[in-house]
Amino acid sequence: MDFFEVATSTPTVRRFLDRSIPESDLIKVLETANMAPSGSNAQPWEFVVVRDLEARQKIQALYQQLWGPYKETAIIRGRTKLSERAVKAIATGDEFAANLAIEPVHLLVFLDRPKMRVERGSADDLFNFGATYGSMFPAIELLMLSARALGIGSAMTTMLTSVEAETKAYFGVPELYQLIALIPLGYPDAGFNRPYRKPVMPRIHDGHWDRAWPRPAKKV
């Protein structure tokens, strides 16, 4: 597929078909993610590929216990009247949480902390925040884009970081690794749509914050 078509049609997919993903495609996706840049070429990512139904149900149970409080504090926020957008977000989120185990593959992404050479939570860790996590998310983005190129949908959530210890214990992950994200993968039930984004032009600055990027002249 054309790169720009892939990059502009990789939405967060929350409705998946109950259809398995070929192992060869999974390997291709992960090998592509492994080509991402990282600080000092540390490549600090580790992936746990979860395909067993019981394990996926465990992930769903963990996610569901977090989704309810999250939507109350992050979306509803004590309001009695919600916007149409908020109502849609809640409905979509409820459906995603209720059907998470259907997604045939769950990828748990972990950060190898020692490779970043800073102690988690230390002053140096806070100072190097951008370098640490900036060495992880390019791999996640490449993973999602390569999945899209193969017709596989994805969603990224950091929700499980709130129950990191329980997640790591269930999957036998050593203490020195940090949970970064959960990425369900599967075939979307409604294809791929261009996700809504605000125009970028108002957020481009021409050499100085106070200078807006010149708008192209309208054709007469």
Indicate the average pLDDT of the chain: 93
Q: Which residue has the higher pLDDT, 119 or 158?
A: 158
Distance from C-alpha of 146 to C-alpha of 148, rounded to nearest angstrom? 5
* Closest listed residue to residue 150, CA positions, set 40, 27, 15, 18: 27
pLDDT band at 12 (very low <50, low <70, confident <90, very high): very high
pLDDT recorded at residue 132: 87
Q: In what order do the strands lie in the sheet with 105-112?
A: 45-50, 105-112, 177-186, 153-154
Q: Of 164, 155, 156, 153, whose CA–CA distance to 181 is shortest?
A: 156
Helix (H, G, I), strand (E, B), or coil: what is residue 210?
Answer: coil
Span 59-70, mean pLDDT? 96
Q: Quick check: 152 and 133 in contact, CB under 8 A? A: no
Q: What are the pLDDT digits (tens) for 87-114?
A: 999 999 999 999 999 999 999 999 999 8
Q: Identity (one letter) of the amino acid at 175?
A: E
Q: What pLDDT does residue 123 have? A: 79
What is the mean pLDDT of the segment spanning 12-33? 95
Q: What is the pLDDT of residues 65-93, one digit of tens each?
A: 999 999 999 899 888 889 998 999 999 99
pLDDT at 1: 87
pLDDT digits (tens, 9 = 90+) for 202-216: 999 999 999 999 987
Q: Is the pLDDT of residue 220 over 70?
A: no
Q: Is pLDDT above 70 for 7?
A: yes
Tell me 70's DSSP state: H
At 140 the pLDDT is 98
> What is the rounded CA–CA span in Å between residue 111 and residue 39?
13
> Is a pLDDT exceeding 70 seen at residue 64?
yes
Residue 66 contacts by C-beta under 8 Å, 6 or more apart in sequence? 159, 160, 162, 163
Band (pLDDT 50/70/90 cuts) for residue 118 is: confident
Residue 110 near residue 178, CB atoms below 8 Å: yes
| Cα–Cα dist 13/190, whole Å | 9
